[in-house]
């Protein structure tokens, strides 16, 4: 993987959605066919020998590379969604945000103890969203949980909120 090329392909949008945030826009990574292929190949190489049976993507930017990778790994794809979107019975987990709390949900029949799960989202900031997703997945007692982000904002130290047994990988890392 040409990490430098991938890093250059991410658009930084200052002050979006609110002043002070440097928003990492992944749409510029996905729109170029060769960059998309490189990302897809790179992700496949990272996880092809792990025995992944389900890729779980977090709404909504985890729904782009998540299914693509699942298909290449011959795994299934499972969505984690915001409340009220999934039609059947769900498990849910709430977590603290800067202002108030957020909740995420997954279908109760989405995973089993036999699964090796790869949780995927576009970006690791404080880690709050993914830590809640890991808790949600652990309700199913799967064999193993891997966590993947396309981008990691290292300065926010999001990695530190996870238990050491959770294997976390990111592809593009920013110091700020
Ligand atoms: P967190 O729970 O703090 O790790 O935030 C992660 C979620 O917020 C991810 O789903 C990201 O899509 C989004 N996010 C947070 N900060 C940024 C940022 N600087 N640029 C783009 N997305 C972000």
CA-nearest residue for atom 11, ligand 1, is 123
pLDDT digits (tens, 9 = 90+) for 146-163: 999 999 999 999 999 999
**Whose CA is closest to atom 15 on ligand 1?**
125
Region 51-174: CATH code: 3.40.50.2020
Nearest to 154 by CA among 119, 113, 123, 131: 123
> What digits encode the pLDDT tens for the residues 33-78?
999 999 999 999 999 999 999 999 999 999 999 999 999 999 999 9
Which residue is closest in CA terms to ligand 1's atom 5? 125
Lining residues, ligand 1, CB within 6 Å: 21-24, 61, 121-129, 158
For residue 117, the cross-strand partners are 54, 145
Beta strands 116-124 and 167-174, pairing class = unpaired
Reported pTM: 0.97
Atom of ligand 1 nearest to the CA of 95: 2
Give the span between the Cα atoms of 46 and 72, in whole angstroms: 12
Q: Identify which of 152, 166, 85 has the alpha carbon closest to the alpha carbon of residue 122.
A: 152
């Amino acid at each position: 993987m040409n990490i430098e090329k991938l890093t250059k392909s991410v658009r930084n949008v200052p002050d979006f959605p609110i002043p002070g945030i440097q928003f990492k826009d992944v749409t510029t990574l996905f729109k170029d066919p060769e960059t998309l292929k490189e990302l897809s190949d790179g992700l496949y190489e990272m996880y092809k020998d792990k025995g992944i049976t389900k890729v779980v993507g977090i709404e909504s930017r985890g729904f782009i590379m998540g299914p693509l990778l699942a298909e290449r790994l011959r795994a299934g794809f499972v969505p984690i969604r915001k409340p009220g979107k999934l039609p059947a019975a769900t498990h849910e987990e709430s977590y603290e945000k800067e202002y108030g709390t957020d909740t995420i949900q997954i279908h109760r029949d989405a995973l089993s103890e036999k699964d090796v799960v790869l949780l995927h989202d576009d970006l690791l900031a404080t880690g709050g969203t993914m830590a809640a997703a890991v808790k949600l997945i652990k309700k199913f007692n799967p064999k193993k949980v891997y966590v993947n982000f396309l981008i990691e904002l290292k300065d926010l130290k999001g990695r530190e909120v996870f238990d050491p047994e959770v294997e976390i990988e990111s592809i593009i890392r920013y110091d700020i």
